Structure 1
Amino acid sequence: MDEATRYEAVAGRDARFDGVFFFAVETTGIYCRPSCPAVTPKRRNVRFFPTAAAAQGSGFRACRRCRPDAVPGSAEWNVRADVVGRAMRMIGDGVVDREGVPGLAVRLGYSTRQVQRQLTAEVGAGPIALARAQRAHTARVLLQTTGLPVTEIAFASGFASVRQFNDTVRQIYDRTPSELRAEAGAGGVRAPAGAGIPLRLAHRGPYAAREVFDLLAREQLPGVEETVGTTGSRTYRRTLRLPHGPGVAAVDERRHPVRPGPLAHTGWLEARIHLTDLRDLTTAVQRLRRLFDLDADPYAVDERLGADPRLAPLVAARP
């Protein structure tokens, strides 16, 4: 995709490209998703980035209106088998947080220099910057949707210290952790004891929740997974084998009305995660995202399947 096409998507506020690329505005110092509702900037002031981490690494802060870091990521990394695709999946799974860049390189079978070079060339950021962006996003979600103490959030997000957590949040969001929490009004919300960590798992709409839950119910493994409830309000539960101990996740099927505003093109699934160790939170979330295929682009799927003459009628009947 060339820059002219990207700018057309920005000018048209085309949500189909959210997560595919990001744009930053030189005059304001912020970066956005293509569907940002703000006034379209002049072309000469716009820079494009393949990932949020690349924009952050160039010194841009996340837009407060469109919250670009909240958009589901590109589904491309879930299917690619090359070194970049594998690296992106491993970083998402928390390998850099647990083993550092050398550990990632060993798993990939490349030198640290080769991994850095290939990631930077394709996604605009190295493994440390990508892991940092993921930690910051996890921290924002926890600050704005849970009542966990800030110290617990810092370590659950993968930060090595509270100071590193505070500095990163301020740099990326231009807010302190307390200010981020206050904006969402989540500071007084506390989950009941034993209820797990409540999270919203974002996806692009429309999302075929019923069909996904049907599939999981049919193929569930006894003792590992279970689906309870009636269609439309089911809860899927499963155990998770995580680096620091076992976990249990519960995800609700119930649909949530999409609110107007910059996130109108996305929805979410409500989840609760019980962990032995909070450091496994990011890993657990990424595994649930892959299980529920939450980074999939439904428009691209419809377009590709609809091009097949045998599948086109089925796609038209159930878009």
Structure 2
Amino acid sequence: MNDDEARYEAVRARDARFDGVFFTCVTSTGIYCRPSCPATTPKRANVRFHRSAAAAQADGFRACRRCRPDAVPGSAEWNVRADAVGRAMLLIADGVVDREGVTGLAARLGYSERQLRRQLVDEVGAGPVALARAQRAHAARTLLQTTTLDIAAVAFAAGFSSVRQFNDTVRQVYDRTPSRLRAAGPGPGTGTTEGIALRLAHRGPFDGDQVFDFLARRAVPGIEEVVGAPGDRRYRRTLRLPHGHGVAEVGEAGGPGWLPARLTLLDPRDLTAAVQRVRRLLDLDADPFAVRERLTADPVLGAAVAARPGVRSPGTTDPDELALRAVLGQQVTVAAARNLTAALVAAGGTLLPAPDGGLTHLFPSAAEIADAPLGGLRMPDARRTALRTLAGALAGGDLVLDPGTDREEAEQRLLALRGIGPWTAGYIRMRALADPDVLLAGDAGARHGATRLGAPGASSGQRWRPWRSYALHHLWLAASATPRAAVALHDTRPDHVAEAEPVPAASPGG
């Protein structure tokens, strides 16, 4: 979609596949929209295009009130590319500019502020300050329309440095004052309980059965739970956030293109970070159309992908937690890994001020695990050492697993740690770093799935690139239909410490 004529054809077709990929700016009205906006298609001569909402706003356009272009899914391109611009976009989405400034963002990426700004402007038409400002405007609208916070509190919670700056931005982006914007919303408390009610947008079909089954099998008591009947389940978990803790709840039964969610936050400044982390957990910025186009042409996966076009590659809300849980789950079944993790949470997790349903704790931080005795955990000494080594590397900053991390470098650092082999490093790369192109080395579930689909012996999957993570999930789904004994995968490193999270016959997937 680098050609304006192709973009205009997508607008004429109201093609939702490109929502969040580019934005349509109408010069005759001064409004910018998502490509699928239901309004009358503007004349080609009156249309220009931008790669980001921030660029559209900087060009003097305000957000359409009908299609709400500020609420579109993020672009899947950033996870696929994972270059400096892609990683910068992910970090900005997580709120790093609001918390650490452009200086902090540039330092995380290893660039000067000037270099970073130039690359972002060239690629998406806006620098880090403008991109963060657009994100703050969206957070402000959400808080205005779903909470009872007063206007000044909303301004600072959304990340603005002054009420005046907040007022000016809201008027420019939405062509309304904050008070009028609040009056136009559904109102605070819409729903059943306290918290911030949201609709989390996604692109294309979403296979709720696959995602919620995946999360339910791995839900650790105390920090996670899945409640309700299949088809109407709610996934709930605690969140460790930059300014405090929170509880996220996401429903399986949403509407076309969205899932219902509710966030209960100790500090509303964590709204942006909480939303983005839940989105990464559920892989809501995926491009299922691109995945389907690539994989349905494959002779092994084609029929399976066509039958389930909305399969996602779930990530995590906390990369450090995911990495530590991956080590805890080495050489045991998913159920055993869940029980072992629950024991760690009960012994070393931080208690919530009050239980929230079945949620009672925050997962312990890497620093807490590095200093913990761990003697009460029933696992081999080698794995206990690997867990403490990984926790120490995360706590000391020798290993960083945030959205701005270079994946190749992170994987090499992981493999250098005793007790972590290719399977575990790949699993962490796929889920903690949201890499869409991972096929786990020697994965038994993938082999069984390939056999089930009539192609014994899963290959390296080069023909599935750049969507090998999704191919892997399809193989796991195929394997789940084949009864088999629980399998243990083993590390091939010289230290021979088991590295995988093997699974029982009905639950492939690590």
TM-score (norm 1): 0.90
Return the alpha-carbon distance in structure 1 between the equivalents of residues 147 and 289 of structure 2. 32
Deviations 1:83-142 (A, max 9, x none): 111111111111100111011111111000001000100011000000011111112223
> Which residue does 1:263 correspond to in 2?
none
C-alpha distance in 2 between matches for 1:193 and 1:43: 45
Aligned residue type for 1:316: A
Counterpart of 1:19 in structure 2: which amino acid? G
Q: Distance in 1 between matches of 2:214 and 2:186?
A: 36
Equivalent-residue separation in structure 1 for 2:191 and 2:252 (angstroms): 21
| Residues 175/282 of structure 1: CA separation in 2 closer, same or farther (3 Å cut) | same
Q: Return the match for 2:294 from 299, 304, 316.
A: 304
1:154-208 residue CA offsets vs partner (Å, 9 max, x unmatched): 222211222221110100111111212222342xx33799832222212224221
Aligned position for 1:56: 57
1:120-269 map, 5 Å: 120-186=121-187, 189-190=188-189, 195-256=194-255, 258=256, 266=257, 268-269=258-259
Is 127-136 or 70-79 further displaced after alignment?
70-79
C-alpha distance in 2 between matches for 1:31 and 1:243: 32
Distance 1:24 1:4 in 2: 14
CA distance in structure 2 between the partners assigned to 1:277 and 1:141 by the alignment: 15
Partner of 1:38: 39
Distance 1:192 1:122 in 2: 39
3-state DSSP of counterpart to 1:165: helix
Is the 1:147–1:191 contact (alpha carbons within 8 Å) kept by the matching residues of 2? no
**For residue 295 of structure 1, what is the aligned residue in structure 2?**
285
| Residue 316, structure 1, aligned to residue 315, structure 2 | no
Q: Does 1:112 align with 2:113?
A: yes
Letter in 1 for 2:293: E
Q: Deviations over 1:197-237 (max 9, x none)?
A: 22221222422122111111112334332222221222212
Structure 1 residue 5 and structure 2 residue 6: aligned? yes
Preserved contact between residue 13 and residue 36 of structure 1 (Cα < 8 Å):
yes
Aligned to 1:283: 273
Amino acid at match of 2:114: R
Matched, 1:272 2:271: no
Tell me, which stretches of 5 or more residues in structure 1 are unaligned? 259-265
CA distance in 1, matches of 2:259, 2:149: 20
> What is aligned with 2:436?
none
Aligned residues: 308
Q: Which residue of 1 aligns with 2:101?
A: 100
- Contact 1:155/1:278 (8 A) holds in 2: no
Offset at residue 33 of structure 1 (A): 1.3
From the two aligned structures, give the one with the greater strand fraction: 1
| Pairs within 5 Å for 1:15-30 | 15-30=16-31
In the alignment, what sits opposite 2:471?
Answer: none
Give the Cα separation in 1 of the matches to 2:148 and 2:259.
Answer: 19
Kindly indicate whether structure 1 or structure 2 has the higher relative contact order, using CA contacts under 8 Å at least 6 residues apart.
1
The more displaced of 306-315 and 37-46 is 37-46
Could you say what secondary structure the match of 1:249 adopts?
A: strand
Pick which of 244-253 and 131-140 moved more: 244-253
CA–CA distance in structure 2, aligned partners of residues 206 and 35 of structure 1:
15
Provide the C-alpha distance between the structure 2 equivalents of 1:51 and 1:315, rounded to a whole number of angstroms: 31
What amino acid is the match of 1:313? A
Paired residue type of 1:93 = D
Identity over the aligned pairs, expressed in percent?
Answer: 70
Mapped contact 2:26–2:42 kept (Cα < 8 A): yes
Q: Which runs of 4+ in 1 moved over 4 A?
A: 191-194
8 Å CA contact 2:73, 2:201 repeated in 1: yes
Kept in 1: contact 2:23–2:50 (CA 8 A): yes
Residue 146 of structure 2 contacts residue 190 of structure 2 at CA under 8 Å; is this kept in 1? Answer: no
- Structure 2: which amino acid aligns with 1:251? V
In the alignment, the residues of structure 1 paired with residue 53 and residue 34 of structure 2 have an alpha-carbon distance, to the nearest angstrom, of 9
Aligned partner of 2:330 in structure 1 is none
Q: Is the 8 A contact 1:158 1:282 kept in 2?
A: no
Secondary structure of the structure 2 residue equivalent to 1:269: strand
Distance 2:159 2:192 in 1: 23
CA distance in 2 between counterparts of 1:213 and 1:147 reads: 32
Q: Secondary structure, in 3 states, of the residue corresponding to 2:202?
A: strand
1:41: Cα distance to partner? 2.1
The Cα shift of 1:148 comes to 3.6
User: Aligned letter for 1:226?
Assistant: E
Q: 1:205 to 1:141 in 2, by over 3 A?
A: farther
